């Protein structure tokens, strides 16, 4: 009998359109409370019922906006307050179109009599941006991307954060702390626009108000953006450059401009796409919702022009890294390269000549090659990049062609050689031909001595650091003067380099060297200044041994020093 009854019950459910599986979309929709029913529940006696109705209205989205406007004419004060809160939440949770429609309804329905209107609208826009940013990061991480964001709780653009850091926080520090990082340009005009619209809204009749709401809900995105914020400029998610800062950026000293670029890069978010990324080019459009994204890193994956175009449309991107990637056979289109990127890094790559050729005429001012091979044709292309100011090599054999490139690129101001082998004679030749070119080299080996003897490169480094610090403290538009430095008298060739300190536990200490000793020769090569020692050490690796001739209190001595690891030794000292 029980089995028979169950059979009848199942048949009845089937006739009503139900099944033992999931409900259809239409059935789910019909089972949900209507907007009108939820609006009535806003005035229910039970508090939990009112709260639940408000939350469900948020889920209704744009379709609930007009019914809430109509209901507000006869609602209680509490219900009116809830409607306002629901409209705000709909805007914050929605897309750009929904946000501007919700914000427009708020301005029509709840006019304010003072300047706090514009501040309230900007606050809502920052909340909306932050919500979209969090959702975008979460979704991309679910797809296998790695997103690193030092400013998770802020929606500042890369330009705003960079400008704040480069100017010691004077320009927009207060706005950063209040999470209201809004460009100063247009703020006053927005207040005037809002104030004017407040005057107009006060005289609207009920019929006129409904007509305005209908017009708002039927208008396109650009029209509503201009209506709400008094500008037809793209939103910050699409255009991350503050117009006023852009003008100041063009007029400031080059060293100050370089400081600003560096701080913009350091303050930004990073996105890594490797072989774990499972998304599509369409998913990469979510990057538009991360306004402070400055670095995109492609790793261990074949490069696709469509994906690159989608990701590199983000105007905040300043750095692009390619690590162990496969470039397509056909040259990448120009649209695949970010138009405002200033730094490109290639790691463990075979670099197509067409890739470097694309960088000619771009904004690139910094290139780095790590463990990469360069052909003669590639060198030719590099020498034609007129905007290049910094060139870095890592774990690369720096041959004569590289030194010719350093010499040929007239715009070059800095060269960094990390763990690279090179000919000291070529280095000295370059310093004579390009005396103002700053050349830094980081060795792999560590000898363990310090010296007060300064060479020309050290003077140039000190001068550059002083100018950078002066640029960070300067006001926009201020010209940075060259700092004063005395001319250093270098000792005669072979006079030796005096040791001021020996690092504890280093090869130099184990070999018996002490402070006050004067190193005269290393492996038979005469030593004049400390830079001579660094050049010799740079051509060796940890474990290599050097024969040192030094003078101690007028007595000539010899020692053999076993070099240690530079990275491990520096880490131990720190």
> Phi and psi of 319, rounded to 5°?
-130, 140
User: For residue 523, is it left (φ>0), alpha (ψ between -120 and 50) or beta?
Assistant: left
Measure the CA–CA gap between 156 and 164, rounded to whole angstroms.
10
3-state secondary structure (DSSP) of residue 518: strand
Give the model confidence (pLDDT) of 115-171 as tens digits: 566 677 778 888 888 888 888 999 999 999 999 887 665 555 444 444 444 444 333
- Alpha-carbon 18 to chain mean position: 52
What pLDDT tens digit does each residue of the chain (574 aa) get? 444 444 444 444 444 443 344 434 444 344 457 888 999 898 888 899 989 999 999 999 899 999 998 888 888 888 888 898 899 899 888 888 888 898 888 888 876 544 566 677 778 888 888 888 888 999 999 999 999 887 665 555 444 444 444 444 333 334 334 433 333 334 444 444 444 443 444 556 888 888 888 988 998 888 887 777 665 444 333 334 443 444 444 444 444 454 444 444 456 788 999 999 999 999 999 998 888 888 999 999 999 899 999 999 888 888 999 999 998 888 888 888 888 888 999 999 888 888 888 888 788 889 999 998 888 888 999 999 988 999 999 998 899 999 999 999 988 989 999 989 899 889 989 988 888 788 888 888 999 988 876 554 455 555 555 665 666 566 656 665 655 544 444 444 457 888 888 998 899 999 999 988 999 999 999 888 888 898 899 999 999 999 999 999 889 999 999 999 887 776 665 5
0.75 cut: is pTM over it?
no
For residue 367, which of 384, 344, 386, 393 has the smallest C-alpha distance? 344
Q: Do 186 and 231 meet the contact criterion of CB atoms below 8 Å apart?
A: yes
The strand pairing partners of 154, in sequence order, are none
> What length does the chain have?
574
3-state secondary structure (DSSP) of residue 320: strand
Measure the CA–CA gap between 235 and 226, rounded to whole angstroms.
10
DSSP assignment of 214-274 equals: HHHHHS-HHHHHHHHHS--SPPTTT----HHHHHHHHHS-HHHHHHHHHHHHHTSEEEEE-
- For 511, other C-beta atoms within 10 Å of its C-beta total 19
3-state secondary structure (DSSP) of residue 76: coil
Q: Do 257 and 264 meet the contact criterion of CB atoms below 8 Å apart?
A: no
Give the model confidence (pLDDT) of 534-545 as tens digits: 889 999 999 999
Q: Kindly list the structural domains of the chain, giving each domain's residue range(s) and its CATH number in brackets, ordered by start.
A: 27-137+187-230 (no CATH), 244-473 (3.80.10.10), 497-573 (2.30.42.10)
- For 190, other C-beta atoms within 10 Å of its C-beta total 20
For residue 249, which of 236, 268, 264, 234 has the smallest C-alpha distance? 264
């Amino acid at each position: 009998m029980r089995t028979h009854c169950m059979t009848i019950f199942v048949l009845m459910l089937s006739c009503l359109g139900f099944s033992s599986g999931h409900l259809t979309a239409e059935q789910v929709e019909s089972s949900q409370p209507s907007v009108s029913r939820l609006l009535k529940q806003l005035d229910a006696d039970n508090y939990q019922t009112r709260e639940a109705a408000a939350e469900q209205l948020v889920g209704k989205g744009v379709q609930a906006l007009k019914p809430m406007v109509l209901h507000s004419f006869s609602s209680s004060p509490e219900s009116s307050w809830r409607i306002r809160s629901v409209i705000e939440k709909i805007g914050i949770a929605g897309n750009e179109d929904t946000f501007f429609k919700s914000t427009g309804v708020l301005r029509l329905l709840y006019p304010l009599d003072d300047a706090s209107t514009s501040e309230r609208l900007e606050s809502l826009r920052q909340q909306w941006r932050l919500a979209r940013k969090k959702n975008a990061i979460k979704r991309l991480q679910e797809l296998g991307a790695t997103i690193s964001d030092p400013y998770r709780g802020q929606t500042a653009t890369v330009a705003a954060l960079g400008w704040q850091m480069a100017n010691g926080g004077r320009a927009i520090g207060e706005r950063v702390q209040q999470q209201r990082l809004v460009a100063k340009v247009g703020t006053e005009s927005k207040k005037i626009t809002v104030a004017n619209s407040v005057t107009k809204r006060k005289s609207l009749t009920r019929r006129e108000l409904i007509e305005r709401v209908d017009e708002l809900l039927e208008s396109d995105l650009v029209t509503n953006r201009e209506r709400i914020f008094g500008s037809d400029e793209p939103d910050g998610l699409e255009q991350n450059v503050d117009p006023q800062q852009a003008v100041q950026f063009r007029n400031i000293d080059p060293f100050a401009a370089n400081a600003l670029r560096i701080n913009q890069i350091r303050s930004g978010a990073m996105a890594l796409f490797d072989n774990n990324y499972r998304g599509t080019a369409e998913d990469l459009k979510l990057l538009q919702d991360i306004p402070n994204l400055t670095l995109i890193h492609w790793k261990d994956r074949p490069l696709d022009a469509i994906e690159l175009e989608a990701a590199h449309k983000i105007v905040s991107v300043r750095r692009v890294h390619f690590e162990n990637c496969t470039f397509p056979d056909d040259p990448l289109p120009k649209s695949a390269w970010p138009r405002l990127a200033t730094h490109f890094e290639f790691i463990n790559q075979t670099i197509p000549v067409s890739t470097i050729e694309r960088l000619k005429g771009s904004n690139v001012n910094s290139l780095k090659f790590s463990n990469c091979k360069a052909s003669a044709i590639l060198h030719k292309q590099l020498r034609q990049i007129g905007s290049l100011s910094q060139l870095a090599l890592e774990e690369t054999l720096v041959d004569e062609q590289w030194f010719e490139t350093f010499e040929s690129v007239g715009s070059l101001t800095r060269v960094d050689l990390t763990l690279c082998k090179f000919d000291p004679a070529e280095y000295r030749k370059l310093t004579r031909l390009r005396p103002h070119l700053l050349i830094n080299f980081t060795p792999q080996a560590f000898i363990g001595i310090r010296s007060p003897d300064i060479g020309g490169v050290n003077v140039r480094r000190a001068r550059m650091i002083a100018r950078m610090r002066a640029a960070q403290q300067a006001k926009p538009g201020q010209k940075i003067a060259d700092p004063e430095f005395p001319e250093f008298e270098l000792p005669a060739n072979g006079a030796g380099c005096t040791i001021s300190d020996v690092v504890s536990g280093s090869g130099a200490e184990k070999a018996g060297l002490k402070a006050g000793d004067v190193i005269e020769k290393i492996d038979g090569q005469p030593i004049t200044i400390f830079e001579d020692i660094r050049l010799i050490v740079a051509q060796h690796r940890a474990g290599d041994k050097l024969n040192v001739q030094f003078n101690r209190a007028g007595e000539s001595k010899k020692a053999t020093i076993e070099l240690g690891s530079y990275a491990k030794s520096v880490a131990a000292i720190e």
